[in-house]
Structure 1
Amino acid sequence: MSMAERCSRFAESRDKALELFACKGFGQVGMRELATYLGLTPGSLYHHYPSKQHLLLDLIEEFYEELLATLERIEQTPRSRRGNLQRLIRAHLELYREMPWHFRLVERDSSCLNDDQQLRVRQLREQYERQLLLMLGRPRRLSPGALQAAGHAIAILLNSAPRWLAQQALEPGERDELLENLLTGAIERVLAAKPSLQVALA
C-alpha cells in the first residue's frame, strides 16, 4: 500500500472515530472499542495516537483551524461590518452542515482533555474570538474584559445557532433566513453594547 493510500485510509478512520465519539460520547468509548470500530489493531491505533485524548485534541484543533480559515476567506474581500456579519453567519451555517460532528464534539467533550490540551484549545478559541471581533469592528468603548466576553458571546451564538431550529419543520432556506435574522439582531446588540454594560459582559 502506498503512502498516499495509507494517509487516505487513516483520514477515513479519523472521520469514523469522530462520528463514534459524537454519537456515543467520548467518555463512553475505550481505545480497544475504538480500534475495533475502525478495523485497526490497538497497537496500530496507539502508533498514531498515544491516547484517545490525543485523537480528540486533533479533531478539535481541526475544527478551530477550519473556523479560522473561514474567517480568513471572508476577510480577503472586506465589506461593511453588516456585510461581514451576514457572510459570517452564512459561512457558519454552511460549516455546520459540513462538520456537524465537530460542532457536537467541541461543545460536549472538550472538558475530557488534560490541562495542557485544554490550554491549547483555549488558545485556539481565543484566537478565533479575537478574529471575529476584528472582522466585525470591535466596540472601542468596552473594557478589555468586556471585549473578550463579547467575542466569546458572539462565538457561542454563531456555533450554537444551527441547532436552535433543528426540530422545526422548515425548509432549509427558511431555517437559514430565520437564523440569520435572529443572529444578526443578537450580534448587533452585543456590538452596540453601551459602557454601562461592561460589568454585565465581564
Structure 2
Amino acid sequence: MSANAALRCSNFDERRDKAMALFAAKGFGQVSMRELAAHVGLTAGSLYHHFPSKQDLLYDLIEELYEELQATLDQGRKALARGKPALPAVIAAHWQLHAERGLQFRLAERDLCCLSDEQQARLALVRLRYQAGLLKLVAPQTRLSGPALTATGQALGALLNQLPGWLQGRGLAEDEGLRLMQSLLLGGIERTLKDAVI
C-alpha cells in the first residue's frame, strides 16, 4: 500500500470513528448529514461520495460489529483445539471486543431500528448465524430444537453482548470485571446447557 493510500485509509477510519462517536452521543436520528459531514471534516457532497445515506454508514458500522462477533467464536474453537472448554474463551473474547468497540455495541442496540427493513433483515440473518454458531460451539449435543433453541441462542448472545458494557461501566478493574462476568455466566449457562443436552 502506498503512503498516500495508507493516509487515505487512516483518515477514513478516523472519520468513521468520529461519525460513530457523534451517533452515540446524540442519537442517530438527531444527526443530519450536514452536521455529520462537518463533524468528520468533509463537505456534505464528499460524505455522500462515501455513503449514499447515513443509514448506509450505520449499517456498515453494525455489520462490521456482527462480523467481529462471528470472529469471537474462533477463540472458542482454538480453546477446544487445545483441549480446553470453549465458553471461557468466548466470554473473554466478547469482553475484549466490547472494550474495543463499545460505541458500536451501543449503536447496534439503540439504533438498529433506524435502518431500513431490508438492512435490518440482512443483519438479523447475520445475528442468527452467529447465535447458531455460538450454540454449536458451546453446546454441540443439545437436544433443544425449534423455538427453544432459537430463544437459547438469543439469550446467550444477549448476555455475552450486553453484560460487558454494563460491567465495564461500574468502575471495576479490567481483570476483576472479566472474572465477575465469567462467574456470572459460566455457572448459569453451563447448568442450563447441561440440562438441555443428550
Same fold (TM over 0.5): yes
- What's the secondary structure of 2:19's corresponding residue? helix
d(CA) in 2 for partners of 1:2, 1:167: 39
Deviations 1:27-62 (A, max 9, x none): 111100000000100000001111100000000011
Aligned length: 195
d(CA) in 2 for partners of 1:114, 1:134: 30
* One-letter amino acid of the counterpart of residue 44, structure 1: S
- Preserved contact between residue 102 and residue 165 of structure 2 (Cα < 8 Å): no
Counterpart position of 1:119: 121
1:3 Cα deviation from its structure 2 partner: 3.0
Q: Which of 168, 174, 179 does residue 181 from structure 2 map onto? A: 179
d(CA) in 2 for partners of 1:84, 1:184: 11
Structure 1: gaps spanning 5 or more residues? 196-202
- What's the secondary structure of 1:123's corresponding residue? helix
Counterpart position of 1:198: none
What value does the CA root-mean-square deviation take over the aligned residues?
2.1
- What's the secondary structure of 1:3's corresponding residue? helix
Counterpart position of 1:144: 146
Counterpart position of 1:46: 48
* One-letter amino acid of the counterpart of residue 39, structure 2: Y
- Residue 26 (str. 1) matches residue 28 (str. 2): yes
Q: Which of 74, 77, 96 does residue 75 from structure 1 map onto? A: 77
State percent identity of aligned pairs.
Answer: 50
d(CA) in 1 for partners of 2:9, 2:82: 42
- What's the secondary structure of 2:80's corresponding residue? coil
Deviations 1:76-117 (A, max 9, x none): 442599721111111111111111111111111101000100
Counterpart position of 1:96: 98
d(CA) in 1 for partners of 2:70, 2:145: 24
* One-letter amino acid of the counterpart of residue 190, structure 2: E
1:167 Cα deviation from its structure 2 partner: 4.7
Taking a change above 3 Å as real, the CA distance of residues 72 and 39 of structure 1, as seen in their structure-2 partners, is: same
Taking a change above 3 Å as real, the CA distance of residues 178 and 120 of structure 1, as seen in their structure-2 partners, is: same
d(CA) in 2 for partners of 1:134, 1:11: 34
- Preserved contact between residue 142 and residue 193 of structure 2 (Cα < 8 Å): no
Taking a change above 3 Å as real, the CA distance of residues 189 and 28 of structure 1, as seen in their structure-2 partners, is: farther
Counterpart position of 1:6: 8
